[in-house]
Amino acid sequence: MAFLQNHLLSWILFTPALAAVVILFFPKEKANFHRWFAFIASLVPLALSIWLWAAFNPNAAGFQFQEQAPWFTAVHSTYHLGVDGIALTMVLLTTLLTSAALLASFSIQERVQTYMVLFLLMETGMLGVFMALDLVFFYVFWEVSLIPMFFLISQWGSEKGVRVWGRKREAKERDYAAFKFLLYTMAGSLGLLAAIFLLGMVSGSFDLPTVMAHWKTVGGALWGIPVATIKAIVFWAFVIAFAIKVPVWPFHTWLPDAHTAAPTPGSMILAGVMLKLGAFGFLRFILPLYPEQAKIFAGALAFLGMMSIVMGAFASFGQTDFKRLVAYSSVNHMGFVILGIAAAAYAVSADPTTAAIALNGAVLQMFNHGLSAAGMFFLVGVIYERAHTRDLREFGGLWPLVPVYGGILLFTSMASLGLPGLNGFVSEFLVVRGAWPVFTLFTALSMLGLLFTGGYILKGLRDVLQGPLNTRWVGHLTDISVREIAVIAPLMVLMLWIGIWPMWILDVINKAAVHLLALL
């Protein structure tokens, strides 16, 4: 027990990878076994992260549950894990959504064994990003999480559709999407890698707490280049890498393609967790290491956040493909995260309360978007599996055919819309309150996005559930199954719980935000 508790983070981090290894030793024909094994294995890190949540002390500053061991001694890189309240929240989100996504993966029929292995490896990759306190280690996991997703999209993605990317140049939709996702993120992470090594060279360590302690005083020159210049280069490399990952408008066009082409559970993880990696990068590196630069460029970032909110909502409103509509909603919702981070970066010294509120909003919005986006993608998947189409114009009046599904879709849609009483409202309210005094104009303009959030959500409901019944579906659609309800029900409970009583999660986030802001 003590061993478990002392290495809780390692256990959470490597249980999925371990399970992936175990799966390999069983014959590939036993698809059902692989499904159940992967799902049950994913419950272990979930249970452990709930334990982690309970054992975490929100009042203490700094990182908890730290583990450190020599790893890549040649470059002074160590195996160093630890979580603060923000990372903790993300760990919980990751383990929860992975379990939900694996349960949703029961409908995957092809190469189940490989699929499950990839999925579990991906979980380890994502958890590592949230837990790593060593920059090299962080980078390794950043990449590890990327590769399985590439295969999930290109191998198990939707088979329909072709995209043209030049004269006589065509690609299958899923190949196009997978490569766009991979290359775009890689383009960002190359800069990230270079930045991490420059940072390591300059500060003499890859250990984040060490770097943070010395960073401000580091001076001099490297290879004849002033350190100030190098710091600026590192800043921009970080910003670009994370902005692509979030994604911030106008780096966002990989997202609708990747989300639409990915298999349902892949979209759930992509939207639910992967986008948070970028936002998490902003919080973990840019805010603590570059408070001054962050403040200088906060206005620009807030502008891009506002554009994400507005243009994301409009683009979503303009879709006829249900899944692409949901995909664009992620751009819209992540815009609030960016707006909140920008406001916090700007207000930190002048108005700490506003900064704390904005940061609370941003982090809670990350969690909330994880719930609602995963839920929405799952529900799109449920109807797609039955109807084999996602074209909104082909549905119509399905509510009487699928009453339970209809109710669940309505609930989840309203959470996504930010209806007060459900989770999304709390975080959006906090972001709006935090951003208003700092970026009044951008906040006011982003209300246009909030208005059209209503537009696209109601458009989805209108075309799927309401209207005259499209008789073509009578007898072909079955209502949502018990397993599928089991996937969505925990998410719905959390949406409601956070909407009505956000204290349990916001207390942890708030204290972490206060600690973080105190460092700047």
Partner 1 sequence: MPTTTLLWLLPVFPLLAFVLIVLFTNRNKALSHTLAVGAAFLSWLGAMVIFVRALNIGPEALAEHPIRSWVNWLPTGHGFLKIGVMVDPLTAAVLFFVAWTIFMIFLYSVGYHNFGYPEGDHDQKGLPPHGATVVDEHGHKHRVPSIEPMYSRFFAYIGLFAAGMYLLAISDNLLTLFVGWEIMGLCSYLLIGFWFAKPSARAAGIKAFMTTRVGDVFMLLGIAYLYMATGTLSFPDIFKPEMLHQLANLNSGVLGLSAAGLIGVLLFIGTVGKSAQWPLHVWLPDAMEGPTPVSAMIHAATMVSAGVYMVIRMFPLLKAGSLNGAFLSPLAVMGFIGGFTALFAATIAVAQNDIKRVLAYSTISQLGYMVAALGAGSYIAATFHLITHAFFKALLFLGSGSVIHGMEHGVLHTGNHEVDPQDMFNMGGLARKMPITFWTFVIGGFALSGFPVLTAGFWSKDMILSASFFGGHPVIFWTLAIAAFLTAFYTMRQITLTFLGKPRTPEAEHAHETPWTMTVPLMVLAFFAFTAGWVGIPEHFPLLGGLLPDWFTHWVGAAYETLLQQAGMFKEIAEEGSLVPLYTSLTVSLGGLFFGWLVYKDVTSPDPATDPLKKWLGPVHTLLQNKYYFDELYGILFIRPAYWFAEVLTFRWLDRGLIDGILHAIARAVFDLGKALAYWIDLPIISGAGDLIGNIVRTFGRAFRVVQTGRVQDYMVAAMTSVVAFGALVYYLLVFAH
Nearest-angstrom CA–CA distance, 137 and 394:
48
Pick the closer one to partner 1 by CB: 179 or 235: 179
| 321 bridge partner residues | 391
Residue 456 near residue 317, CB atoms below 8 Å: yes
135 binds partner 1 (CB under 8 A): no
Pick the closer one to partner 1 by CB: 182 or 199: 182
Pick the closer one to partner 1 by CB: 70 or 226: 70
Write down the least CB distance from residue 428 to partner 1, Å. 8
Residue 385 tokens read as 């599996």
Pick the closer one to partner 1 by CB: 81 or 92: 81
Write down the least CB distance from residue 359 to partner 1, Å. 9
Q: Which of residues 30-59 bind partner 1 (CB under 8 A)?
A: none
Residue 427 near residue 336, CB atoms below 8 Å: yes
474 binds partner 1 (CB under 8 A): no
66 binds partner 1 (CB under 8 A): no
399 binds partner 1 (CB under 8 A): yes
Residue 290 tokens read as 């570059």
Residue 509 near residue 86, CB atoms below 8 Å: yes
195 binds partner 1 (CB under 8 A): no
Nearest-angstrom CA–CA distance, 405 and 163:
32
395 binds partner 1 (CB under 8 A): no
Pick the closer one to partner 1 by CB: 203 or 365: 365
Widest pairwise Cα distance in the chain: 74
Nearest-angstrom CA–CA distance, 259 and 82:
30
28 binds partner 1 (CB under 8 A): yes
430 binds partner 1 (CB under 8 A): yes
Write down the least CB distance from residue 245 to partner 1, Å. 16
Instruction: Among 122, 199, 357, 494, indicate the residue that binds partner 1 (CB under 8 A).
Output: 357
Got the DSSP string for 319-364? -SBHHHHHHHHHHHHHHHHHHHHHHHHHHTTT-HHHHHHHHHHHHH
486 binds partner 1 (CB under 8 A): no
Instruction: Among 454, 479, 490, 497, indicate the residue that binds partner 1 (CB under 8 A).
Output: 454
Pick the closer one to partner 1 by CB: 158 or 453: 453
Residue 141 near residue 196, CB atoms below 8 Å: no
Write down the least CB distance from residue 231 to partner 1, Å. 28
Residue 249 near residue 337, CB atoms below 8 Å: no
Nearest-angstrom CA–CA distance, 476 and 36:
28
319 binds partner 1 (CB under 8 A): yes
What does the buried/exposed string (b/e) look like for 2-19 if buried means 16 or more CB atoms within 10 Å of the residue's CB?
Answer: eeeeeebbbbbbbbbbeb
356 binds partner 1 (CB under 8 A): yes
C-alpha triplet 76, 189, 84: angle, nearest 5°: 60
Q: Which among 85-93, 285-293, 395-403, 480-488 is the span making contact with partner 1, rule CB under 8 A? A: 395-403
Q: Which of residues 401-420 bind partner 1 (CB under 8 A)?
A: 403, 407, 414, 419-420
By CB under 8 A, how many residues form the interface with partner 1? 84
62 binds partner 1 (CB under 8 A): no
Instruction: Among 250, 472, 476, 489, indicate the residue that binds partner 1 (CB under 8 A).
Output: 250
Residue 151 near residue 118, CB atoms below 8 Å: yes
Instruction: Among 444, 474, 489, 519, indicate the residue that binds partner 1 (CB under 8 A).
Output: 444
Q: Which among 203-211, 214-222, 231-239, 427-435 is the span making contact with partner 1, rule CB under 8 A? A: 427-435
Residue 173 near residue 162, CB atoms below 8 Å: yes
Pick the closer one to partner 1 by CB: 98 or 443: 443
Q: What is the DSSP letter of 248?
A: P
436 binds partner 1 (CB under 8 A): yes
Q: Which among 19-27, 216-224, 280-288, 482-490 is the span making contact with partner 1, rule CB under 8 A? A: 19-27
Q: How many helices (H) and strands (E) does the chain have?
A: 21, 6
510 binds partner 1 (CB under 8 A): yes
Write down the least CB distance from residue 228 to partner 1, Å. 31
Pick the closer one to partner 1 by CB: 217 or 471: 471
Q: What is the DSSP letter of 132?
A: B
Residue 314 tokens read as 């409009």
Q: Which of residues 267-286 bind partner 1 (CB under 8 A)?
A: none
Write down the least CB distance from residue 410 to partner 1, Å. 8
Nearest-angstrom CA–CA distance, 237 and 243:
10
315 binds partner 1 (CB under 8 A): yes
Instruction: Among 201, 429, 479, 481, indicate the residue that binds partner 1 (CB under 8 A).
Output: 429
119 binds partner 1 (CB under 8 A): no
Pick the closer one to partner 1 by CB: 28 or 388: 28
Write down the least CB distance from residue 358 to partner 1, Å. 10
Identify the three-state secondary structure at position 81.
Answer: strand
| 207 bridge partner residues | 134
Q: Tell me which residue has tokens 């290879």.
A: 223
| 171 bridge partner residues | 163
Pick the closer one to partner 1 by CB: 268 or 426: 426
Nearest-angstrom CA–CA distance, 436 and 81:
36
Residue 304: how many CA atoms within 13 Å on its side-chain side?
Answer: 20
Instruction: Among 50, 190, 350, 447, indicate the residue that binds partner 1 (CB under 8 A).
Output: 447
Q: Report residue 164: phi and psi, to 5°.
A: -100, 125
Binding mask 159-188 for partner 1 (x = CB under 8 A): ------xx--x----------x--xx----
